[in-house]
Amino acid sequence: MEFGFTDEDEVFRIEVRTWLSSHADGAQDRRTWERTLGKSGWIGLGWPESGYGNRTATLTQQVVWAEEYARSGAPARSGHIGEKLLAPTLLAHSSEEQKARFLPPVAAGDELWCQGYSEPGAGSDLAGVRTRASLASDGSYRISGQKIWTSLAHEADWCFVLARTDPESSRHHGLSFLLVPMDQPGRIEVRPIRQLTGTSEFNEVFFDGAHARVEHVVGGEGNGWRVAMSLLGFERGVSTLAQQVGFAEELTLVVQAAVQTGAVADPVVRALLVRQWAELRVMRWNALRTLGSSGDAGAPSAAKLLWAGWHQRLGELAMLVRGAQATVGPREWAPSAPYELDALQQLFLFSRADTIYGGSDQVQRTIIAERVLGLPREPKGVV
């Protein structure tokens, strides 16, 4: 597609920038911020339907919003899982009653969601999920099992859970997509996972007879694989361009560090910095080129391979230009602050996971090999 911003888009950009400048600085906790966004209709711009308390925007205006949000320094979103993943899935697969119940609270920023997909034995191989949901005598489901790497589960009000509702089934058969309330003491336990960075955005979630209402099955019982795969298709789009705004800011920090330490005098370091800049520009133009396109099974995998490797190399370069100073924390050690990291150290440690989460590099290459190049499928059970 031919991509460009119209005069109307630039007017919209001014509106977005003005609103963010007058609201983002005063933002408090992330849940309050979600409600602030919701009151002005900024949640759900990419939904194909309005009427749930959201406004809709053109594709280019969604890009404008994403880029301006990234530049504004506004708080990290805690409602993006409900807005970007659950909502498009409900719009595509749910009943009118389900849309009327769940979309307005997402648009208002009142209900936060997490994603119950991966398990200790079913990460990249999602069809191997063992979490089970069985119908009880009262007509509701009882869910038992474990999910892992569940982003923001400690903040979420609801979780969409992929569970096996047919005990005799295997692989992608007999799965259902359930909407589960998280406020179930004694039935749902959330355990934070401490990361290399010292933070705990990810969690383990244990279900021990957790309740889910039968009318909260999306797409019908046994159709969970189709719904789940549809949802994974929504994990790309304008957010890629917003992500690249953040990447550009991180690259600027690395360049500044190279100047401060004198590492920029090394021609090898200069070449690496220029390469990172050039590759980021290529990724932006590729994202713009493919924005709004569909039907290319390999595009999401190719994009993931590009940005994950790029970001990981940037983290390594951040340590290279800092030299020995990269091993020293920004503050003296103290019992009250035993694990302090600066921005570039955070970048390096967090980026180690880029080639694993969201589908590892190996999985992305397998998808391209099998679904795009038509190569033979990888044998199962081979060690």
In terms of C-beta distances under 8 Å and separation of at least 24 residues, what long-range contacts does 319-326 make, across chains too?
Answer: 319/344, 319/345, 319/348, 320/263, 320/269, 320/272, 321/254, 321/257, 321/258, 321/261, 321/263, 321/264, 321/269, 322/257, 322/261, 322/263, 323/261, 323/263, 325/261
For 220, how many CA atoms within 13 A lie in the half-sphere containing its CB?
4
Tokens at 265, concatenated: 């005098």
Q: What is the DSSP letter of 216?
A: G
Q: Which of 67, 235, 279, 316 is flagged as catalytic?
A: 235
Q: Between β-strands 217-218 and 175-181, what pairing exists: parallel, antiparallel or unpaired?
A: antiparallel
Per-residue DSSP letter, 55: -
On whether the CB atoms of residues 145 and 163 are closer than 8 A, the answer is yes
Question: What is the residue type of 223?
Answer: N
Distance, in Å, from the CA atom of 225 to the CA atom of 221, rounded to the nearest integer, reads: 10
Distances (CA, A) of 102 to 91, 113, 231: 11, 11, 16
Residue pair 61/18 in contact (Cβ under 8 Å)? The answer is no
Active site annotation includes 235: yes
* Three-state DSSP state, 77: coil
Residues annotated as catalytic are 235
